Structure 1
C-alpha cells in the first residue's frame, strides 16, 4: 500500500478494490484504505461472488460489499461472469456453459445481487481455456443475460484478445456482437505466452501492442470509458506502471480528437 499512498494526487483517475481483501479489515490497513479513499475514487471488482456456481449466494459477502459501497460511495461493483465454487472454493474462475438454462440460472442470481445492493451488477467477460458445453456463442450468452437483468458490462480487452487467440475467433467480431451500450468500464492487462496459440491471462506483465491496438478499437465502439490497468504480481516500479496508465490516457485523448474531427 505504501507506493499507492505515495502517489501524487491525479496520478490515476480511480483505484479498484477487491472487496474480499477489505471486508472486516481494521487497524493500520483500514487507515491506509481510508487515506486512499479520501484522495481517489474507488470501484470494486470481486473475486468470489460465484455468480454462475451451484452453491447458494453468499449473503454475508454481499453484506460486506454493501458496507464498503456505503463507506466509500462506490459507484461500481463488478464481478466475473464465471463460477469459482462447488461445495467449497475452487480458487479459479471457471467458464459457465453457454446455454439457455444457464442464462436463466445466472440471471436469477444476478437479480438477487442487484436487489440486495440497489445497483446494477457489472459483469466481466472472463478468460477461459476449455468450454464443456454450449448451445450459443459467448457474446450471445452475455447479451441474453444483459437483456434478462439490465446488468452492465466490464469489457476486459485483454480477455478478449486471450480468448480470441486460444479459441480461434476474431476479437473485433466478438466485441461488435456484445450489447455495447451496457459497457460501464474497461480493463486492460498483460498476459503470459504459453505458446503461439495459447495465452494465459495473468496480470503479471506489461500490456502488449496488439492489446493496446484492441483498446483503441474498443474506444471507437464504446467511447473512452474509464479504463483500469490490472497488475497483480511482478510489480515494476510505480513510475513504470504510471507510464502504462499514461498510455491509457493517451488512447482516450486520441479517441476524443477523432470524435471532434468527425463532428466538424
Structure 2
C-alpha cells in the first residue's frame, strides 16, 4: 500500500472560543490533484495552513511522507512545500519577474545572484502562466486575475514536489480558471507533483481532481475519488441543499445541479 503524502492524526485547534478541529484525522494521497471542498468557515483554509506548517495545531500530529512535519526546519519545509494563501500580501511596486524570483529563495544563499537553474525556473513559470510578456510590469498595473497568476507562478518557481493552493481560481474568469486547472493537471501528470487546493466550484473539483475531501464544521464528511465523494447525499450533508448529481456527458465526471 502506498504511503500517504500527508497523515493528519487527532488534530485539535481552537481560535479563541471557536473550536475549529477536535481530534480530526485524515490522509491525503501522494500525487495528483486533491481538492478540499465545503461551506465557508468549515476549516478548509485552516487545514491547508496546518499542512503548510504555518499554523501550529494545539494537539495532534501531521506527518509528511511519514515524517513529523514539526521536525522539518523551515528551510527544508520550503524545499518540499509551496503554499499560496487566498489573500497574498500587497506588493504594488514589485515587478512580475521580481515576485516570481522570490519563489527561488529556498534554493539560494542570501544575496547570491540568480543561478542558471533559478533563471530557468523563473522563465518556465512565466511561460506556464502566460505572463512572459508582462515580466517587467509592476503588480499595481495588473488586473486581479493577472496578479493571481503571478503569485501562482511564484509558487511554481519554488519547484517543490508539493503545492498547496487556497482558492487559486479566485479573481479568474472562466477561460483562465480552465487554463490554470489544466496547467495544474499537467504539473501533476507530467512532473509528478502533489497539488492540494481549496475549491468552491464542485463542477471544477469533480472534473479536475483525483481525490476530494469534503469538510463541514471541522468534520470530514467525505473523501475519495470525485465520483464517490460528490454525490447527492454528500452535497446535502455539506451544504444543506438538495441537488441532483449526474455524470458529465463529455468527461463522465460528477456535475451538481441544485434543485429549485
Task: Please indicate the TM-score interval, normalised by the length of the shorter structure.
Answer: 0.3 to 0.5
Q: Which has the higher helix share?
A: 1
TM-score normalised by the chain length of structure 1 = 0.37
Which structure has the highest strand share of the two?
2
